[in-house]
Amino acid sequence: MKNVKKILSMLLISVMVLTLALPAFAATGGKITITNTQADNLKYQAYQVFKGEPGDGKLVSIEWGNGVNATALLAALKADTTLGTKFTNCTTAEDVAKVFAAEQNDSETMQAISVIVADHLTTVAGTSTQTVSPYTIENLNTGYYFVKDISGLATADGRGSKYAMVNVLDDKATIAIKTEVPTQEKKVYENQPGNYDGTPEEVEKWGQGFNDVADYNINDVVPFELLSTVPNFKGMKTYYYEFQDQYDTAFSLDKSSIKVEVVSKDNVGTVLKTLTAGTDYTIEYIDNPFDIQVNANTTRKVKQFNVKIDDLVKTLGEQYIGQKIKVTFSATLNEGAVIGRPGNRNRSRLIYGNNPNETGEPTPWDEVVVFTYELDVDKFDSADTTKKLMDAEFVFYRVNAQGQNEYVSVDANGKVQGWTAIIDPPLNPTDPNPFDYSGYYAGEGASILKTDATGKFIISGLDEGTYYLKETKAPTGYNKLTKDVQVEIIATTTNGHNGAANALTATMINIDDAGAAHTPNKPDGYETAPIPNDEGLKLPETGGMGTTLFYIIGAALMIGAGVVLVARRRVR
């Protein structure tokens, strides 16, 4: 991990090497080597706490170094309620050094001492310049040095790991560091059972159904979560923690839904502590959309909110170190949602540090994607697919978990507005007095979907899943469908993508035997449902022109017969 700066004011292993049997050397030319293989671009500074002369492999003639405020440091050591008694009789630098030496094997005590020393530093003796491990601080005078990390990484082990104090008698002084950077993960809930059930380990880590990609209807409520491990802040006076969340304008944030909890590191479903807004944390909202750079040629508009915990040390306490902080919230996928690729995105990152005014560089953004799809209905003559049928009327529904039919309502642009459970009327296509099915469903809250001159209508903003088209009125001269058409929208998405362009790889639909052939596996999120209609049959009629002709011819024959009969009588 690179470019991490200024999170902790001090960071290293508490090491005291006051009695190492090392050869003496000149008063200058000392060097400290710091190894840290977990991170690059770190920077360390050294402060001289004690100065002295090398003698028989030891530091002798000890005096206060020029890297601390000696008077203030000694007073602080004596005043400390835990350590004070150890320094009661100390008056000189050598007296203090002897206490340090006596306590060097007690990591808890040395950590507490280091915290006090860190508050009384003055002049920097040297700074590392390397960008990768090992890091070195050179040209140091003989002495005892306090070393701190000014790049700001937290350490992995919790005991005696915040600061380093080391004897410099030659160029062989070394310190080994193991670094841990706070991380956070962003997840979205997938509401389709079976689409993402997760392994037992994933369920414990994120919760059932949470992963990196999901599908939803427009105007559905989408749950999100942010997860981060409580960092090891032992030895720190304060620790600042801020979650930043950026969401596309296709989402309408429910501000009242934001919740911050401490949950078990073993199972995020186990809540250990619920934090209180305004007391334990504050929320900053950036409601005016602004552009973020997607790539060299593309930007997108987002909004943002920031959850700020000013002091984890005070808010949580050490008993929660290693557990997880979980931020949950929900947002509605609105009419501005993108259909298919690239999806509707939400990303987050973590800002952290032991000083809210000098925080470390943020963690990388972690991104999740929510997809939604469009169904285009194509109505045509079953005998001639180029003949499109106008004014066919449909309703569109899904079946909920309770077995009820929920009918869609859409706006003027075909975008999903919601779903209403409606009890179906008795359907009887042979009823001599046909029921006004369109009027019934419209009256109950469903949208009547009517084909235009091209034989089409759209339903935009659909979740993956199974739906049904019910024809309520056939085009003039055509038979109404006697069976509802089942339409299944199937999407292939990729979990673990972190915003990759191929998070959606394909969409397709399955249509039952009332439909017709179609081209599947389109990756753009738009699918067409071809729906044919049969033209009505022309049966023999009574009272038509053919019958009239028979009447005319018959009448003519009768008149002709009458004329012949009269003529014969006259002849007689």
> Any residues with CB less than 8 A from the CB of 218 and at least 6 apart, and which?
333, 334, 335, 337, 372, 415, 416, 417, 460, 461, 462
Residue 257 CA to its chain's centroid (Å): 15
> Any residues with CB less than 8 A from the CB of 484 and at least 6 apart, and which?
468, 469, 470, 514
* Partners of residue 225 on adjacent β-strands: 187, 328
Angle, to 10 degrees, between the axis of helix 107-118 and the axis of helix 70-79?
140
Token pair in block for residue 265: 């590191």
The type of residue at 27 is A
Phi, psi of 428 (to 5 degrees): -140, 90
Shortest CA distance to 394 belongs to which of 382, 413, 376? 376
Phi, psi of 320 (to 5 degrees): -100, 0
Q: Rounded distance, CA 112 to CA 103, Å? A: 11
Shortest CA distance to 495 belongs to which of 256, 209, 292? 209
Report residues of the chain scoring pLDDT below 50.
Answer: 1-26, 154-161, 513-517, 519, 538-539, 550, 566, 569, 571-572
What pLDDT does residue 7 have?
37
Q: 353 with 240: CB under 8 angstroms? A: yes
What pLDDT does residue 161 have?
40
Q: Rounded distance, CA 385 to CA 530, Å? A: 10
First to last CA, the chain: 132
Shortest CA distance to 524 belongs to which of 303, 371, 313? 371
Q: Rounded distance, CA 432 to CA 297, Å? A: 63
Residue 374 CA to its chain's centroid (Å): 23
pTM exceeds 0.75 for this model: no
What pLDDT does residue 154 have?
42
Kindly give the residue spans of alpha helices, DSSP state H, lying in 243-326: 312-315
What pLDDT does residue 11 have?
38
Please give the DSSP secondary-structure letter assigned to residue 93. H
Token pair in block for residue 235: 């030895």
What pLDDT does residue 491 have?
81
Phi, psi of 531 (to 5 degrees): -125, 105
Q: Please count the other Cβ atoms lying within 10 Å of the Cβ belonging to residue 343.
A: 27
> CA–CA distance from 237 to each of 13, 27, 214, 355, 358 (Å)?
18, 36, 41, 9, 14
The type of residue at 329 is F
Convert the pLDDT of each residue in 492-543 to its tens digit. Answer: 777 655 555 566 766 666 776 444 445 455 667 888 888 888 876 544 555 5
Where would I find the beta strands (DSSP E) of 220-343?
Answer: 221-229, 240-248, 251-263, 271-274, 282-295, 298-309, 324-333
Q: Rounded distance, CA 42 to CA 458, Å? A: 56
Please give the DSSP secondary-structure letter assigned to residue 102. H
**Sign (positive/negative) of CA torsion 328, 332, 337, 339?**
positive
